[in-house]
Amino acid sequence: MPTEKSDAERSLALLWGAQDRPNRGPKPALTVDVIVRAAIKIADTEGMAALSMRRVAETLGVGTMSLYTYVPAKAELFELMVDTVLGETPLPEPGPGGWRAWLERFARNGLDGYRRHPWLLEVSLTRGLMGPNQTAALDALLHAISGIGLSKGEMMAVVQLVVGYVRGVAQSTVESARLEQRTGVTDEQWWTEVAPLHDKYIDAGRFPTLTAVFSAEDWDEWIDAFEFGLQRVLDGIESFVDARATS
């Protein structure tokens, strides 16, 4: 019996594009890349719910089952979609401003990525298996914050902090923008439509602070929550780095 590849091995080979090209048999009509890009396009434009193997095959003019020649299953297709998308935005170059400016640009790029591909939020990125682009991103992140006095454990924690923050806030930031484009209803429109319904249940006596904040007519400034939070996060890291440097 030949050494059959484990799932993990097969996935990694797919992610890193290390297929052994056989020379027998008919020429493949498709490539993994074409399939992945078709899937991404569908997910981008019609949402994750519309992404089915049949649908992908249709847009490629191919029988559904043909896809399984290239991709073992839908889960692996997801992994490929994620890594492909991670590679589409170039990583920030090292530049002026040091680690802080770099992380800032990295975070903004990340948010842009989620904006372009909202379905990323529906897929867990913390699979253990890393494709080339995810690997490159992690390497670049670690490189950006190396040599500023952090231990390895702290470096990993900082990475998780930034990446986690972007994802967490992107969730709400992106979702509203997405719904706006999809349904044509502005966030504000939707709130004004739903607000009276909420008012029926939300008692000013029971939720005093909430009503005070939202009933105010002085909606002076609506802050960009992402940028605000990002600066707080970076401030927090910076003060830690400074404290570490003076000790």
By CB under 8 A, tell whether 157 contacts its own copies.
Answer: yes
- Identify what 66 binds: DNA, its own copies, none; CB under 5 to 8 Å per kind: DNA
Sole binder of DNA in the list 12, 62, 157, 241 (CB under 7 A):
62
Q: Which residue among 75, 194, 212, 225 contacts DNA (CB under 7 A)? A: 75
Paired tokens of 236: 């927090």
Cα Rg of the chain, angstroms: 23
Q: How far apart are the first and last CA of the chain?
A: 61
Of 6-14, 56-64, 165-173, 192-200, which segment contacts DNA by CB under 7 A? 56-64
Q: Which is nearer to DNA, 17 or 236 (CB)?
A: 17
Touching DNA, residues 24-43 (CB under 7 A): 24-30
* Surface-to-core class of residue 142, CB atoms within 10 Å of its CB (0-12 exposed, 13-18 middle, 19+ buried): middle
The token duo for 142 is 């670690």
Closer to its own copies at the Cβ: 109 or 135?
135
Q: Is 63 in the site for DNA (CB under 7 A)?
A: yes
Question: Which of 20, 220 has the CB closer to its own copies?
Answer: 220
Nearby residues of 30 by Cβ (< 8 Å), 6 or more positions away: 60, 62, 66, 67, 70
Stretch that binds DNA, among 9-17, 47-55, 163-171, 192-200 (CB under 7 A): 47-55
Q: Which does 88 bind (CB under 5 to 8 A by kind): DNA, its own copies, none?
A: none
* By CB under 8 A, residue 180 contacts its own copies: no
Closer by beta carbon to DNA, 34 or else 202 = 34
Residue nearer to DNA on the CB measure, 124 or 247: 124
Judge contact between 179 and 129, C-beta under 8 A: no
Write down the H helix ranges in the chain: 7-15, 32-46, 53-60, 74-86, 98-116, 132-144, 152-183, 187-199, 208-215, 225-246
- 3-state SS track over 12-78: HHHHCCCCCCCCCCCCCCCCHHHHHHHHHHHHHHHCHHHCCHHHHHHHHCCCHHHHHHCCCCHHHHH
Q: Which is nearer to DNA, 7 or 242 (CB)?
A: 7
State the Cα–Cα distance between residues 155 and 150, nearest whole angstrom.
Answer: 6
Residue 27 interacts with, from its own copies, DNA, none (CB under 5-8 Å by kind)? DNA
Write down the least CB distance from residue 114 to DNA, Å.
22
Q: Which does 157 bind (CB under 5 to 8 A by kind): its own copies, DNA, none?
A: its own copies
d(CA 148, CA 195): 48
The footprint of DNA (CB under 7 A) covers 22-30, 50-55, 62-66, 68-70, 73-75
